[in-house]
Structure 1
Amino acid sequence: MTATTRTLSATALVLALGSALSIASVSTAQAADTKMEKCFGVALKGKNDCAAGAGTTCAGTSKMDYQANAWKLVPEGTCATTESKTSPTGFGQMTEFKAKS
C-alpha cells in the first residue's frame, strides 16, 4: 500500500466516523425536543424512571406493576390516557396517588 493510498483510506475513515457522529447527535436532539411528563402508576415492576416515595429509591426500583408512587416519563399529554391498573380512574396520574383496593 502506498503512502497516498493509506492517507486516502485514513481520510475516508475519519469522514465516515464524522458523518456517523453527526447523524447520532441529530437523532438525540430530535428526541430531546419531545416534551415529556411524569406519570404515576404506569410503570411496570422495575421499569420506573426514578424515586417517588417509600419503596423506591431511583430508576428501576418499583416493587410492582403500576405502583402508585412510582413514575415514568411519557410524552406530554398522554398520561391521562395511559392505563394504570391501580389508579382510581384506570389511567396514569400526574401526582402519586393511593392505589385502589
Structure 2
Amino acid sequence: MSNNQPSASSKCVRVCQNRACKKQGAAKVLAAFKASVVPGVTVTPTGCLGQCGNGPMVLVLPDRIWYSGVRPYEVPMVVEQHLLDGHELKKML
C-alpha cells in the first residue's frame, strides 16, 4: 500500500457504554459496529466520552470525528462512507 492512500488499519471506533448512552441504545450500536467487520479497524466499548445527552456517542480515531445520536441502522453508513471511503457523515456530526 502506498503512503499516499488512507489506511483503515489505523482507525479505532469507540462506542460509549456509559449509563446515559446505554439508556439510549449504545449496546446495540456497539453490536452493529462489531458485526460490520472492517479489516484493520478496532471497535471498542468505552466509558463516558463527556457528551452525555447527545448519545449514543461514537468517536472515530485518529480522525477525532464525533458522531452523536447514532442508531444501529446508521452504522452501515458510517462503515461504508467514513471507515471505507474516508468521508465523514456531516448530518451525524
- TM bucket, shorter chain: under 0.3
Q: Which has the higher contact order (CA 8 A, sep 6+)?
A: 2
What TM-score do the two structures reach when normalised by structure 2? 0.24
Greater strand fraction, Structure 1 or Structure 2:
2
